[in-house]
Structure 1
């Protein structure tokens, strides 16, 4: 994509995002209730982990602050991914209903339309994740000036994690061009894998650690960067590798999406 094409893409993206957001804000009460509910659900999830940590002190050497950091990073990455690529996760309903046919007739790339359709900024999850991140970093570093290095590196990890989650989500969604029904697969590759990555990877058996770093590499969203950023037990290569994995996953998912879309058979409805 050259500079002119990228500029047109971003201009179209902003227009579609604004239009989608205005549409959702017609039901203001429903929007804010959903936002609050998402924040509460995530807070309760971490509260359960905090209770366990308070009882036993640490999990495999990870303190409550360090575990909170892992949870905050993946929460913010997920919020960013789901905000800016909303309906990629819901491709199945377009395939089953035949609504994808209508998207193909629009004068815009199908993926761009899906990314902006039903735009829903995750304010609740973002606020919760940012608050947990601030508290966790404060507890981990206390008066250590190294926190000022950790903050921008964490922002990079969050952005890289969002790209990785988008790549995994798009790769899974693209399989729908052949499988159609992909909700069970999404539960495995997105929901279950993300839930597992909320906790230190060392609590899992070796085969599951391999799964979460290889086949479904969600460990590169938060765990691998954290080994360098907050623990200092590994070199900066862990953060660089995380960014590289995100880039590779993005490229693979875009190629599979393009190939799958070219093989899509219209329902004719």
Structure 2
């Protein structure tokens, strides 16, 4: 069993290396992809600045606090895109009958599919989010202790697991319906977009939905309350400590759904 797992891990990293090498063959497209992602999110940040220029603050959140909130979300989303974004296209492999090849190789089908593409273009999101967090940290005069840096790291890891878990759960729908990507655009994108602003501005039903059903509040809002020292939130700031735990549990549940779908999978042929 151990030897099988070690062989699978070696194959996983080998395929990741092949994916990165393939993408680097087109260096101009690679660089432009990174810059494109960075400029896209920078445009959203500018929109926030224009909005705050007119209104001053949103629910007590200044521009730099909003930028930190947004950048924290983008940072974990960038990690998520690197590993899990292509899961949204699982339905295409099932419809075309090409998913079968993931079942006959000496590596777990989940990790095989996961290693199919290592999207280094997402580094543009890292570029934007790191610069934005650094700017907000400086302008807000923050001075974090070691435990606060652990909260920050836990938010990034937990946010990655929460967002990646939802993508995986959505992709699992393809095992039953042979269609899932459209569901991604209906569910994932709106839920992620809600986190660009403080959760307190939304109706109570939305607050409950993105905290206890789809726990996106643990991606950035709750950790930000703790890291920015904001005590007037809709939930206690100390909930931000649990981002990584909530992320791990949510991801495990989504993975179990994916495995359930895999066990029900019947080839569609080619």
TM-score, normalised with respect to structure 2: 0.91
Shift of 1:105: 2.3
Aligned to 2:134: 134
Aligned to 2:213: 215
Matched, 1:256 2:257: yes
Shift of 1:150: 3.3
Matched, 1:206 2:204: yes
Indicate the larger mover: 233-242 or 187-196: 233-242
Aligned to 1:92: 91
Aligned to 1:117: 116
- Alpha-carbon distance in 2 for matches of 1:200, 1:83: 26
Shift of 1:13: 2.4
Taking the TM superposition and a 5 Å limit, the aligned residue runs for 1:49-198 are 49-121=48-120, 122-140=122-140, 142=141, 145-146=143-144, 149-198=147-196
Shift of 1:163: 1.2
- The structure-2 alpha-carbon separation of the partners of 1:7 and 1:157, relative to structure 1 and needing over 3 Å to count, comes to farther
SS of 2:24's equivalent?
A: helix
Contact 2:223 2:240 in 1 (8 A): yes
Aligned pairs, number: 266
Indicate the larger mover: 241-250 or 69-78: 241-250
Gaps of 5+ in 2: none
TM-score, normalised with respect to structure 1: 0.91
Shift of 1:170: 0.8
Contact 1:168 1:189 in 2 (8 A): no
Gaps of 5+ in 1: none
- Alpha-carbon distance in 1 for matches of 2:108, 2:162: 21
Shift of 1:124: 1.0
